[in-house]
Amino acid sequence: MPQPALHLAPPPALPIVGRAEVFPVGRIICIGRNYAEHAVEMGHDPTREPPFFFFKSASCLCTDSAVPYPPQTSDLHYEVEMVVALASGGRDIAVDAAEDLIFGYGVGLDLTRRDLQAEAKKLGRPWEMGKAFDCSAPVGPITPVEACGHKRNGTITLSVNDKVRQHGDLDQMIWSVPEMLSVLSHSFALRAGDLIMTGTPSGVGRLDIGDTVSAHVDGLAELHITIVAGD
């Protein structure tokens, strides 16, 4: 009996600012509630509690400016985040050595089916159905460290239809990028190609079909998307 043909998509990758090559993406690792004001707006204590993380598949990556509204939700939310792209990895990384792993930085969105996430929280279930759907991780080009330096502070904003909805500074993170990388490396080996989404400031809200979104972090290539009707 003939075997079905394989139709494999090419590995996901991101453009690199100033280079012809691309950055191959392995895993997408996200930290939850890493800005105090966002923790408050989500109904949680803003104190520095142990960090927690969740994953999106690399197949969730979206580099197209047209992002389809996902199925099974009526409450799609935006969350702007700085993205860290790793050039190398390892286990048990010290905080003061963690920045040595970083290839560069980008701007991304953690799109969320908030109604599905809220139901999962209520039932004590995993968040993947709310967080890890197709095209749930739009990410812009990666700016190499040699072009932008390490991003420890700077404005992070998101606008919907030219109106600012989120505004913060990277220095407002509860857990810094080196601290995140160190904590993660004590649970599993970090790898070249990992993307770390570093949390979102307050002001998250709903997106509808036709909305245009502009996401900005000082010194990085901006991300611009439009929400379009899904298939």
pLDDT digits (tens, 9 = 90+) for 94-126: 999 999 999 999 999 999 999 999 999 999 999
Q: Using 50, 70 and 90 to split pLDDT, how confident is the model at 46?
A: low
Provide mean pLDDT across the span 64-74.
97
Position 214 in a domain: yes
**Mean pLDDT rounded to a whole number for the chain:** 93
Does residue 230 have a pLDDT over 90?
Answer: no
- Structural domain count of the chain: 1
Q: Provide the CATH number for the domain around residue 86.
A: 3.90.850.10
What pLDDT score was predicted for residue 50?
86
Position 4 in a domain: no
Position 132 in a domain: yes
Position 14 in a domain: no
HSE-CB at 56 with a 13 A cutoff on CA atoms is: 29
Position 9 in a domain: no
Position 117 in a domain: yes
Q: How many helices (H) and strands (E) does the chain have?
A: 5, 18
**Nearest CA-CA partner of 195 in 149, 156, 142, 136:** 142
Percent of the chain with pLDDT over 70: 95
What pLDDT score was predicted for residue 43?
57
Q: Which residues make Cβ contacts (< 8 Å) with residue 124, sequence separation at least 6?
A: none
What pLDDT score was predicted for residue 65?
96
First to last CA, the chain: 33
Tell me the residue length of the chain: 231
Tokens of 220: 């990085």
Task: Look at the pTM and tell me if it is higher than 0.75.
Answer: yes
Position 8 in a domain: no
Position 161 in a domain: yes
Domain span including residue 213: 21-228
As beta bridge partners, residue 109 has 80
